[in-house]
Structure 1
Amino acid sequence: MKLKRIGVDLAKQVFQIHGVDSHEQAVCRKQLKRSQMLDFFRQLEPCTVAMEACGSSHYWARELRVLGHEVRLIAPQFVKPYVKSGKNDANDAEAICEAASRPNMRYVEVKSAEQQAGQALHRIRSRLIRARTALVNEIRGLLGEFGLVESRHGVAATRRLAQAALADAENGLPGQMRGLLVELQGELVEHEARLSRLDETIQRRAREDERVERLMLVEGIGPITATALVSAVGDARQFRSARQFAALAGVGSSPTLQRRQGAAGPDQQARRYLLAHAAGSRSPSGAQALPGQGGSTQPVAPALAVSTQPEHRHGRFGEQECPDRLGDPQSGRLLSTWLKIKSQAAQPAKC
């Protein structure tokens, strides 16, 4: 069967296929089970395969590329206008196939397995930080009910508060509450240990990855932000300008401009994570350096210095939440500098 383009509506078990020939006539409409997907595409001549950028899309894109097909991922908001009638799998597959025929359609860059593993690392770390923050607030709230408060904030202050509460036998804390507080302390120590292991993994990756080291030359970017950028963006050459990259990251532009400029990019969770560290990972010397490394050698206009948030109180790679937007239109200068550093490299790396 000779097909020009195929639209695939992805799912967990049952996939919908819509294929057209060189005359744009629909010649293939069928459902495939998960076990049949690779066998079906293995029998076809290489063609264009379009899918929505959703869960498991990057995995299938990698698998189909191995078979010789040209895979294009389209953001769901760009597919929706081409749905002709009621929403079902067949209509969605047809809409995806139609959207891929547009000459000016923008596509999502396919992520490698290493990129997705890097993003998984940062997402797990972000979840642990949220869980630790919730635990710290719970400890402070429970002790406050017994008149035990601490004016200072942060994990270290809460740890000292809990230790002081357990050490003081005359503070009126009931025995049952003391037992619960010991358990909460152990839970906090476990969170700290897991975060330390993840931070060590990120530091090791920062030392081993040339792209991360090059990004860390930009003032205000440390190992957390650099590894998160490399994992989320991949190949920066997919952007025509620094402004387009800024729109993807949500820096220095309105939400409307973000939708118009770039493209399909990381989801809101990834965007918030990138901006949190980009806005607050600065140190007094202007860069977040690894142990044994010096400060920044690439001064940039105060793109990251616009945050009005105080320095991080938690003391480990900017774990305090920061605003979603930097609020400075000149923040794109940081991104422009990054692209210049990439283009000046002897062998442009996928960053």
Structure 2
Amino acid sequence: MVAQSKKSTLTTVRGNVPKSGAALPKAGQAAGFIHGFRQWWPYYAMMTPGIIFFLIWHYVPIWEAKMAFEQVRIIPPNIWVGLKNFQALFSSPVFYQVLANTLIISGMKIIFVFPVPIMVALLLNEVRSGPLRQTIQSAIYLPHFLSWVVIAGVFVAFLSPTDGAAGQIARGMGLQPINYLTNTGTIRWVLVFTEIWRSAGWDSLLYLAAIISIDTQLYDAAEMDGANRWQKIWHVTLPGIVPTIATLFILNMGMFLSADLNQVINLQNDVNASTIDIIDTYVYRIGLTTGEYSLATAAGLFKAVIGMVLVLVSHLISKRLTGKGVW
């Protein structure tokens, strides 16, 4: 009898225990959320400003993207016009000029700027002296914290053909100084160089972190097999950071048509405007200067859709080639 009673009690208790994967009662979920919030509330508090920022400046504007299909009126409501704004956009020769400029500048940055942080991270990883590495890192990280206004002022002074350092060096070598900021053949290279100078050091942080996370036993095994430093970089380090490279490349493709508004607008002048006028400056000009909000929204929506398509395509290609992607 006692054994049967114990068995019956055990069966009852087991029957009351939720099965694995079964949903908890709502009261239990609420209690768990409250307990977690009390435990982690300082972190939620630190996240709140960032969440509010993204809600206001990134998510709320998504709803207003419908202006691309409307005729904006001073007194609401707006008038629905369908694809009329896109037809006007694609029939404008100016738009195709700024699209070509954007593709050229963004392509140059992908080819010449994107690989530089990878090389910087590989070189920093080979510096064995801790103080020397810290000094180099401090020097190359500093430009990231300067605004494009300051950077543009520095390079305008440096590249001046009359009293700038570049002009004085050219005259010292017996060459004719070039005004790089007004020369339509060199201004795009100025954008590339200034982008490298500002972002290469800071962007190398992600690659350096990925290199540090590589198992050191792989380097020991390669050294036992007789690999030199270059061979260890090629066969151990680079394969170890391929997932990071693939992820950042896909994210960069999503911003392919941006070409950095802040940089361009600070280095743009009346002479080089036709060469470095990009979609973002075009949207800024027609939206805030001429008040064509619907047309500017249509151009911005076009850029966003192309960016999304580029992310999807580059993700699929990366998955097929390397087995790694964003998701």
Name the TM-score class by shorter chain: under 0.3
Give TM-score, length-normalised by structure 1: 0.24
Structure with more contact order per residue of length (Cα contacts < 8 Å, sep ≥ 6)? 2
Give TM-score, length-normalised by structure 2: 0.25
